[in-house]
Amino acid sequence: MFKMQNIMDLSREELGQWLEQKGIRSYRANQIFKWLYLKLALDFDSMTDLGKPLREILVKHFTMDSLTLVDKQVSADTTEKFLHQLSDGEFVESVLIPAKDHFTLCVSSQVGCAMDCKFCLTAKSGLKRNLTMGEIVAQVREARAYVQSKGLEPLKLSNIVFMGMGEPLANYKNLIRAMAVILDTDYGMKFATRRVTVSTSGLVPKIIQLGLDTDVNLAISLNATDNKTRSRLMPINDTYPIEELVGACKKFAMKPRNKITFEYILMAGINDSEADAKRLVRLVTPLRSKINLIPFNEHEGASYKRPSKESIHGFLKILLDRNMTAIIRKSKGDDISAACGQLKAKQATP
C-alpha cells in the first residue's frame, strides 16, 4: 500500500528539491517550514499564503500527524508527561518541565533503548526502533502547541534536553537531521544552541563527531568512577571504558565558556562512597565540567536504593570543597513516572 510521507521527515533542502521536481519554486519550502515549525499549523489547508493548487499537492502527498497524543499526566510539581502513539502503533513519551520563565522539553530519540543500563526502566523493553527525524521534531512541535494552548508564547519552550527514551547518539543521523530544524533560526524552531543538550551513555566516536557537527551542549551519564562498577551498571562501558570516555570529552569541540555536564546517579552502597566522590573529582578536573548528582529514582523492580539525605549532601560537599561545580538535580515528576530513568511508554491497561 502507498504510504504517505511525513513532511517533517524532510529537511528544508529536500523539501525544496521535491517541490522543484513538481515545477514549484523551492523557496516555497521556507514558507512551509514557517507554517510547520513557527506558526504550528494543524493542517496544510491553513497555510493560506501558499495558494490552493500547492496546498492540494501537499495534502495529496504528505501527512503531518506522525504523533497522536494518547495520554497526558500532570505531576504535583507541575511537570507534565505526554504519551504519544506513533503511526506504527509504538509509543514514546516526552516530558515538559516548567521553570520560572521558560519550559524545558525532555525529548525521546528511540522507542525503547539498546544500552541495557541496569538502573533504567526504559532499558527493560529493549530497543524497538529509532525515531525518525520527523518524530523527533514533532515532539517539540506538539509541546510548543500545548504551551500555546495554555495562552503562553510557544517560544517560552526554549530548552530541549535529549534525555528521554533512547540513546540519542545511537540514532545519530536522525538526531542531526532533527537538530537542523530545531536550530534553524530563519525558518525552523529557533532554539539557541546553548539551550539544547544531548545526553549520552558514552558512545565515544559519536561524542567527538557531535562536537564537530553541532554547537549544542553535551551531557555524559557517568554514574560510576571505576570501570568495574561502571561496566556492571552500564554495559557500554565494556566497549568504551572510562579513560576513553574522558578522552572523548577532552576532544569534544565546544565554545570557550561551555561546560560538559556529568550526570551521576547516586545509588546507596554502589557509587556513593567518599572514595567515589574523590575519584569523581580526579576524573573531571582536567575538563571544563559541571556535575549533576541525581538521587536514584525508584521504579518497579529496581533493586537499587536512593542514599540517605545526609549521604547525598555529604557527597556533594566533597565535590564543592574541591571547587567543582556541582548540584543535586531533583528529578521532576517522579509521582507520574516522568523522572529520569522512569520512562516506559506503555499505555496504562484499563
Task: Give the closest residue to 169 by CA, choosing from 220, 121, 237, 118.
Answer: 220
- What is the CA 333 to chain-centroid distance, rounded? 16
Please say which residue, 64 or 293, places its beta carbon nearer to ligand SAH. 293
Asked if residue 79 binds ligand SAH (CB under 6 A), the reply is no
Which listed residue (104, 340, 344, 345) binds ligand SAH by CB under 6 A?
340
Span between the terminal Cα atoms of the chain, in Å = 33
Least Å distance, CB 88 to ligand SAH, is 22
Interface size with ligand SAH, residues (CB under 6 A): 18
Asked if residue 221 binds ligand SAH (CB under 6 A), the reply is yes
Asked if residue 160 binds ligand SAH (CB under 6 A), the reply is no
Least Å distance, CB 167 to ligand SAH, is 4
Contacts with ligand SAH in 108-127 (CB under 6 A)? 115, 119-120
Task: Give the closest residue to 248 by CA, choosing from 303, 204, 278, 217.
Answer: 204
User: Is 80 marked active-site?
Assistant: no
- What is the CA 134 to chain-centroid distance, rounded? 14
**Residue 345 zone, left/alpha/beta (φ > 0; ψ -120 to 50; rest):** left
Please say which residue, 57 or 254, places its beta carbon nearer to ligand SAH. 254
Least Å distance, CB 298 to ligand SAH, is 7
Which listed residue (296, 319, 324, 333) binds ligand SAH by CB under 6 A?
296
Which listed residue (242, 294, 316, 338) binds ligand SAH by CB under 6 A?
294
User: Is 340 marked active-site?
Assistant: yes
Please say which residue, 158 or 197, places its beta carbon nearer to ligand SAH. 197
Cα atoms found within 13 Å of the Cα of residue 70, Cβ hemisphere only: 18
Three cell numbers written together for 250: 577532552
Least Å distance, CB 35 to ligand SAH, is 31
Cβ–Cβ < 8 Å for 264, 283: no
Asked if residue 174 binds ligand SAH (CB under 6 A), the reply is no
Asked if residue 297 binds ligand SAH (CB under 6 A), the reply is yes
Alpha-carbon distances of 275 from 90, 232, 269, 279, 290, rounded to whole Å? 43, 18, 12, 6, 19
Please say which residue, 66 or 109, places its beta carbon nearer to ligand SAH. 109
Please say which residue, 115 or 157, places its beta carbon nearer to ligand SAH. 115
CB-based closest residue to ligand SAH: 341
Residues belonging to the active site = 93, 340
Binding site for ligand SAH (CB under 6 A): 115, 119-120, 163, 167, 199-201, 221, 223, 263, 265, 294, 296-297, 299, 340-341
